[in-house]
Chains A and B, each alone.
Chain A
Amino acid sequence: ETGVTQTPRHLVMGMTNKKSLKCEQHLGHNAMYWYKQSAKKPLELMFVYNFKEQTENNSVPSRFSPECPNSSHLFLHLHTLQPEDSALYLCASSPQRTSGSYEQYFGPGTRLTVT
């Protein structure tokens, strides 16, 4: 596999369910990101990890819980979500966080629907 992969591609869950989104990058990068893309809104940065350490949490509700066990893998654990959390969740990676010049490489996203 190459690039950034995300599983599952589609997920439907009830408000009381617990599920996890998985992201894996095969680029040797050290920074990984979670974004939320809702209809007609700009991409919202949720979390940033640099060398496995969380460096940014943009006031994301605690029902979203990230985990980064190593530089290649990133998870987003979901529990007791709300219908407004339905969105496309995108994972991205870049060589590292400290420089603004690095482009980010994105996965195909997980389309989440909360019923």
Chain B
Amino acid sequence: AQKVTQAQTEISVVEKEDVTLDCVYETRDTTYYLFWYKQPPSGELVFLIRRNSFDEQNEISGRYSWNFQKSTSSFNFTITASQVVDSAVYFCALSELGGGSNYKLTFGKGTLLTVNP
């Protein structure tokens, strides 16, 4: 089973629509961290948000919002009023010890979001 599952491979929306990117994770650790990264066509991954396992407060940053629910092991990402510049691949990632001595960051396969004008 995948540790980080992003079931949506590709999503296409029209500008100004709201869109939610799903992320489901799997871990046995009680302390872990979740991340979202954006990868525009230029290639570099851009950090968007970090959430630790003890903080289930939802967060809003401008048009971006994140919904962390431990009960369903989900960390979903919503873009409100999408814009063409939001077109990118979005990655959800989990950082955990998993029984090891170093934290390991595991990425999902990513969701390609295309926002059409």
Q: Among the listed stretches B41-49, B66-74, B80-88, which one makes contact with chain A, having 4 or more residues with CB under 8 Å of it?
A: B41-49
CA distance A90 to B43 in the complex (A): 9
Q: Please judge, given known A-B contacts A41-B109, A42-B109, A48-B102, whether A101 and B43 are in contact too, CB under 8 Å.
A: no
Asked if residues B50 and A103 are in contact (CB atoms below 8 Å), the reply is yes
Nearest chain A CB to B11 CB, angstrom units: 16
Residues of A within 8 A of B105 (CB): 45, 100, 104
Known: A100-B32, A106-B45, A107-B44. A43 touches B102 (CB 8 A): no
Q: Is the interface of B mostly helix, strand, loop or mixed?
A: strand
A interface list, Cβ under 8 A from B = 4, 40-43, 45, 48, 55-56, 88, 90, 92, 97-101, 103-109, 111
Q: Please give 14 more A-B residue pairs, beta carbons under 8 A apart, in addition to A55-B102, A98-B102.
A: A4-B44, A41-B109, A42-B106, A42-B108, A56-B102, A90-B43, A90-B45, A100-B32, A100-B97, A100-B105, A103-B35, A104-B105, A106-B45, A107-B44
